Amino acid sequence: QHQPHSKREKAMADKSSPMMTIPTDAELIQAQADLWRHCLSYLTPMALRCAIQLGIPTAIHRLGGAASLPDLVTALSLPPSKAPFLSRLLQLLSTTGVLASNEARIYSLVPLSYLLVDGILVDGDASQAALVLCLTSRYHMEAAMGLADWFKKDIAQPVPSPFEDVHGATLFEESMTVLDPESDKLFNEALAAHDHMGIGTILRECHGLFNGLQSLTDCCGGDGTTARAIVKAFPHIKCNVLDLPRVINKAPSDGLVNYIAGDMFHSIPPAQAVMLKLVLHFWGDEDCINILAQCKKAIPSREAGGKVIIIDIVVDSSLGQMFETQLLMDMAMMVYTRGRQRDENDWSSIFAKAGFSDYKIVKKLGVRGVIEVYP
């Protein structure tokens, strides 16, 4: 039987349960490092926010895709005295995969930082800088800091999100506009960038998804960026974009798609297919079932080509690091909205409850899945 051979082990053994394994010195050293990393990891998105606000990705792009520290100090119009501090920021950004660097301390863009360059499109997708600024805003940080208090409250259904509980406002609704118009504008820009990202990849990787379709309604389609991309790839498809009046009133009128002001909870314009791209994770199960029931009313039978196309996260523990990303996105839904992310069993359950007969996961693209649901 193991006998404590130090004051530390004896003290821990006295306070522990009989089955507790005493950590070794090496394990404690690693645990300390892990704890520091977890406690300080919030500085990674703060560094990313700083890089965007300073314009680092855009400056590197304009300097030809690679830049030295002196190049960046000059391009960013920073005081020379800040060069050593900028070097430390760049080192963290390089270590965490936001930038690349070599032994000569030349910093270059990687696919992630290309997504943050102002004014350029990557595969037709707008810059994702607004998404970073949104998720690192004080409103989002304060909502997360209120999580423990939120858990302790016995609140009647429907349970408001921590964001609503802390700020008294709901994301993407009029209450947020009243609270802070500038932040509300940023949050909606972030939502649009997030929602439309990746449609080019979907059109290439899931080409058969739209084959044979004559008409499609894009629910919560915003300014129609996704629908226009579909029509350009498949000119024969007649596309409707359904969204709330305050969104549709700002949409462009280019004749490519038909914009319809409405509410998907009440009615969805009829089409051969209805698409929900990154929509359902904002809603709880009962709301999703109601939305899907409206989708079912809007489409013909499966034999006539009727289907609902869902592009959303399918949580999968076999995805390694992407699984962690999915869980973080689920936490984001819990803190900021009344929605959640779902695994395949969760999706299957709400499809059945909404009256659908079958579904197929067409393809998994990173953290997202492309699903066809049949009446």
Pick from 194, 359, 200: nearest CA to 292 = 359
Pick from 292, 142, 302: nearest CA to 212 = 302
Give yes or no: 281 in active site: yes
> Looking at 61, 167, 196, 281, which residue is catalytic?
281
- Rounded Cα–Cα distance for residues 236 and 238 (Å): 6
Our CA dihedral for 219, 223, 225, 227, rounded to 10 degrees, sits at 40
Whether 163 contacts 282, CB under 8 Å: no
Residue 219 burial by Cβ neighbours in a 10 Å radius (0-12, 13-18, 19+): buried
Residue 216 burial by Cβ neighbours in a 10 Å radius (0-12, 13-18, 19+): buried
- Rounded Cα–Cα distance for residues 199 and 180 (Å): 31
Q: What is the CA radius of gyration of the chain?
A: 24
Tell me the residue type at 232. K
Structure tokens that stand for 200 in this block: 């080019």
Give every strand in the sheet of 99-101, ordered side by side.
66-67, 107-109, 99-101
Q: Which residues are catalytic?
A: 281
